[in-house]
């Protein structure tokens, strides 16, 4: 009898006892939650964590990021492990992008927002960026985005694209922009360029660019 009691106690200790109140599983999370939901609650492991991207300065949930950006319940985020890698923030009202600093974001859409500065994006591993229909005037911070391949700045106030020289751009949309000089694009491996309703009058600077698609 004593042995049976000991075995029963051991089973209860391992499996837990369901008394009708919320319990936690072996991961320390509430049972019945998906891995995607649990990922927002992960804490740093005691052992070494190996990753291809550096960790952000502080791990935060998507809800916390929305709060810091001041976008309510809007926007969509993608995460790899503990870091945000993409954000779709179209028409969310975001003004300040600084909460995104430190995140290894490769894809970002901030179109139709009152954003005026891209300073927070400097050095980010962006591959795709869309800030169309924003009051942004300068792309200077993007000069440090060495992986940027697709850029959409339609209906912005950007007039100087010199900081883009040397970037690995393959697709560039300058629709309805006051850009008048295409010299910075010389020698680029652009595959698609949109100049519709722009101030471009001379395409001579594109003579060495083997474009697949040119919209004018």
pLDDT digits (tens, 9 = 90+) for 5-14: 433 343 434 3
Q: What is the rounded CA–CA span in Å between residue 112 and residue 68?
A: 19
The mean per-residue pLDDT over the stretch 48-52 comes to 44
Percent of the chain with pLDDT over 70: 74
Tokens of 40: 């927002």
Q: How confident is the model at residue 105 (pLDDT cuts 50, 70, 90)?
A: very high
Residue 1 has pLDDT above 60, yes or no: no
DSSP states of 87-112 = EE-TTS-----GGGTTS--SEEE--S
What's the pLDDT tens digit per position in 172-207? 999 999 998 999 998 899 999 999 998 887 888 888
In angstroms, rounded to a whole number, what is the distance separating the alpha carbons of residues 177 and 44?
Answer: 45
Residue 136 predicted with pLDDT over 80: yes
- Alpha-carbon distance of 115 to 108, in angstroms, equals 13
* CA 13, chain centre distance (Å): 43
Query: How many beta carbons lie within 10 A of that of residue 181, not counting itself?
Result: 14
Query: pTM here?
Result: 0.73
Query: For the ranges 26-35, 150-159, 188-197, which has the lowest average pLDDT?
Result: 26-35
Does residue 173 contact residue 194 with C-beta atoms inside 8 Å? yes
β-strands 83-88, 76-80 pairing: antiparallel
Output the CA–CA distances (angstroms, integers) from residue 88 to 8, 109, 112, 147, 155, in the order listed: 52, 5, 11, 19, 18
Sketch out the chain's domains with CATH numbers. Answer: 54-216 (3.80.10.10)
Query: Encoding tokens for residue 102?
Result: 């430190």
Give me the helices (H) in 46-157, please.
62-69
DSSP character at residue 77 = E
pLDDT at 214 over 80: yes
Contacts of 47 (CB under 8 A, 6+ apart): none
Helix (H, G, I), strand (E, B) or coil at 55: coil
């Amino acid at each position: 009898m004593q042995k049976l009691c000991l075995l029963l106690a051991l089973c209860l200790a391992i499996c837990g006892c369901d008394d009708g109140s919320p319990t936690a599983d072996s991961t320390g999370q509430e049972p019945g939650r998906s891995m995607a939901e649990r990922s927002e609650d992960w804490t740093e492991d005691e052992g070494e964590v190996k990753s291809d991207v550096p960790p952000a300065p502080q791990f935060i949930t998507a809800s916390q990021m929305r709060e810091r950006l001041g976008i309510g319940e809007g926007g969509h985020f993608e995460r790899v492990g503990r870091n945000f890698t993409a954000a779709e923030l179209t028409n969310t009202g975001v003004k300040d992008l600084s909460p995104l600093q430190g995140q290894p974001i490769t894809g970002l859409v901030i179109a139709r927002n009152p954003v005026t500065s891209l300073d927070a994006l400097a050095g980010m591993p962006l591959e795709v960026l869309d800030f169309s229909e924003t009051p942004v005037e300068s792309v200077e911070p993007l000069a440090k985005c060495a992986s940027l391949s697709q850029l959409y700045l339609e209906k912005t106030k950007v007039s100087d694209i010199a900081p883009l020289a040397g970037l690995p751009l393959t697709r560039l949309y300058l629709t309805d922009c006051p850009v008048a000089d295409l010299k910075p694009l010389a020698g680029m491996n652009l595959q698609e360029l949109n100049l519709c309703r722009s101030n471009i009058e001379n395409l001579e600077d594109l003579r060495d660019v083997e474009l697949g698609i040119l919209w004018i």
